[in-house]
Chain A
Amino acid sequence: DTGVSQDPRHKITKRGQNVTFRCDPISEHNRLYWYRQTLGQGPEFLTYFQNEAQLEKSRLLSDRFSAERPKGSFSTLEIQRTEQGDSAMYLCASGGQAYYEQYFGPGTRLTVT
């Protein structure tokens, strides 16, 4: 499968725990995005990487959130001290050289109890 993959697909955690999600973009795509989608809403932008550089972060990304893309390939999104309001679908997307390319992964559904 040459599409965007995300792991895990589902995560249930207790409030206060830390969680980490992984995204593997399409090979050779240099752009990588994280979005968050809550029930009944469209996805909201969280952060953007160009290769390994994090070039933009949304105000939605509080201090408890951190994202990395250490070698310009896969990326991780960590949420520390999870809160019930963090329950959402976390989507990763990657884009190639063409600005109109942006393909999404299947998402990680987080439930904080």
Chain B
Amino acid sequence: AQKITQTQPGMFVQEKEAVTLDCTYDTSDQSYGLFWYKQPSSGEMIFLIYQGSYDEQNATEGRYSLNFQKARKSANLVISASQLGDSAMYFCAPDTGANSKLTFGKGITLSVRP
């Protein structure tokens, strides 16, 4: 079974500053990708960014980037230039199954202060 660790219970960041959200995972599978999703108070899961296990460069998508350290099984999300609309829950989810089902951590609450 996979174990996903998101230990930061709540994070605060000042608007326009950068913030890093931590994610570590425990899997014996050698081939996997990792997703990050955002869930605002409305409840919808919004896809942010994906890192393939064999991607040599860290994934970037607009203001989102991943600090992917495969050997440490760590894939931290960096949000640059935080906006008030970034306030939400953030989930990381490795994808190791043949069916690409996702296993989510408990998530991290991010609050952006004006």
Q: Does A93 contact B (CB under 8 A)?
A: yes
Q: How many A-B residue pairs have CB under 8 A?
A: 61
Interface size on B, residues (CB 8 A): 25
Chain B residue numbers with a CB within 8 Å of A31 are 99-100
Interface size on A, residues (CB 8 A): 26
Q: Are A93 and B45 in contact (CB under 8 A)?
A: yes
State whether A50 and B99 are in contact (beta carbons under 8 Å apart), knowing that A99-B33, A104-B44, A107-B43 are contacts in the complex.
yes
In the complex, A106→B44 CA distance in Å?
5
Chain A residue numbers with a CB within 8 Å of B33 are 99-100
Convert B75-112 into 0s and 1s, putting 1 for each residue whose CB lies closer than 8 angstroms to a CB of A.
Answer: 00000000000000001010101011111111100000
State whether A100 and B50 are in contact (beta carbons under 8 Å apart), knowing that A45-B103, A50-B99, A106-B44 are contacts in the complex.
yes
A96 CB to nearest chain B CB (Å) = 11
In the complex, A45→B50 CA distance in Å?
19
Q: Are B47 and A106 in contact (CB under 8 A)?
A: no
- What are 11 A-to-B residue pairs whose CB atoms are below 8 Å? A31-B100, A42-B4, A42-B107, A45-B103, A56-B97, A95-B100, A100-B33, A102-B47, A102-B95, A107-B43, A107-B44
